[in-house]
């Protein structure tokens, strides 16, 4: 028995494409369920769910507390599966997605969590350089996650999988607990870190992970994500949450110095039409501001 979890907030059009891709996945095992957790937004979400009720083993849930981690924890409380597969409402799974995770779980019984491949699917208006000159420092920001063609156990230096394409055994949640509500998106605010923090706890419990390249999703990325203001804002959130996760002290002067330097470097890169490098600098500005200038520790440091 497996459980597929999709949490959604106010994106019925993208959700419909996600559910349609799950309905096309002929690799689904005989016994599975789909938990669709509505975390708020337009009423259209329920109508989308109703359209797929006969094509998918779907259970519709509503979580009133705004925050993806709350929605995920609601799914954990309702799930019947021994293996939980996670997809976001803005992805389309490729054929074989479910079967690949199930096969990996059987192949690597020692693994408690599994990561799959995520490739960006750009919305209209995306600049040309994202296809040919995308710096690796931006891969996570644009939902690109790929550890290569060979299935294998995760190494210590491998980045944690992204929540848009991963699987976790129910036993792993029993050992580590659920999602921390201090991390992750909240409504329209693009918070992050919910999946990273979970996998960090799994690693602290010495629960190994397994890379599953055959489990692939195409992740919708709007062109607006490359606006400077959006990139900096994301960096601020990421910097704050990294500081909270790692419990690092705030260093105001260092943060201002780092941010100023990245602004100057980014301007120079932009004038040279090195747009990818300039975008990395904008991300680093946000990281410096969020991590050292605006961050607060969990202990309430100010």
pLDDT at 188 over 80: no
Residues 65-86: tens digit of each pLDDT:
999 999 999 999 999 999 999 9
The pLDDT of residue 246: 73
Assign 47 a pLDDT band (cuts: 50, 70, 90).
very high
pTM of the entire structure? 0.89
Please give the distance of CA 51 from its chain centroid, rounded to a whole number.
26
Task: Answer with the residue of higher pLDDT: 142 or 297.
Answer: 142
In angstroms, the CA 239 to CA 237 distance is 5
CATH of domain 2-225: 3.90.550.10
Each domain of the chain, given as residue ranges in start order, spans: 2-225, 227-293
Residues 193-205: tens digit of each pLDDT:
899 999 999 999 9
The pLDDT of residue 299: 34
């Amino acid at each position: 028995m497996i459980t597929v979890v999709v949490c959604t907030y106010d994106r019925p059009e993208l959700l419909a494409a996600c559910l349609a891709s799950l309905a096309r996945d002929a690799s689904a095992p005989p016994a599975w369920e789909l938990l669709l957790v509505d975390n708020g937004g337009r009423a259209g979400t329920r109508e989308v769910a109703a359209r797929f009720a006969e094509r998918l083993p779907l259970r519709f849930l509503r979580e009133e507390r705004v925050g993806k981690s709350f929605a995920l924890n609601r799914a954990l409380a309702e799930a019947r599966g021994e293996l939980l597969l996670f997809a976001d409402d803005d992805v389309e799974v490729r054929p074989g997605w479910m079967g690949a995770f199930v096969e990996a779980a059987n192949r690597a019984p020692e693994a408690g969590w599994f990561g799959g491949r995520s490739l960006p699917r750009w919305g209209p208006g995306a600049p040309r350089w994202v296809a040919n000159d995308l710096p690796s420092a931006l891969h996570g920001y644009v939902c690109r996650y790929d550890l290569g063609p060979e299935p294998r156990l995760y190494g210590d230096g491998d980045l944690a999988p992204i929540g848009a394409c991963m699987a976790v055994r129910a036993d792993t949640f029993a050992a580590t607990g659920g999602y921390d509500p201090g991390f992750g998106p909240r409504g329209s605010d693009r918070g992050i870190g919910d999946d990273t923090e979970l996998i960090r706890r799994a690693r602290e419990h010495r629960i190994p992970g397994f890379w599953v390249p055959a489990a692939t999703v195409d992740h919708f990325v709007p062109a607006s994500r490359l606006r400077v203001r959006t990139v900096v804002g994301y960096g601020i959130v990421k910097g704050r949450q990294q500081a909270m996760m790692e419990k690092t002290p705030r260093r105001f002067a260092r943060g201002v110095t780092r941010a100023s330097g990245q602004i100057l470097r980014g301007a120079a890169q932009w004038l040279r039409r090195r747009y990818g490098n300039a975008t990395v600098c904008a991300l680093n500005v946000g990281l410096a501001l969020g991590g050292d200038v605006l961050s607060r520790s969990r202990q309430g440091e100010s």
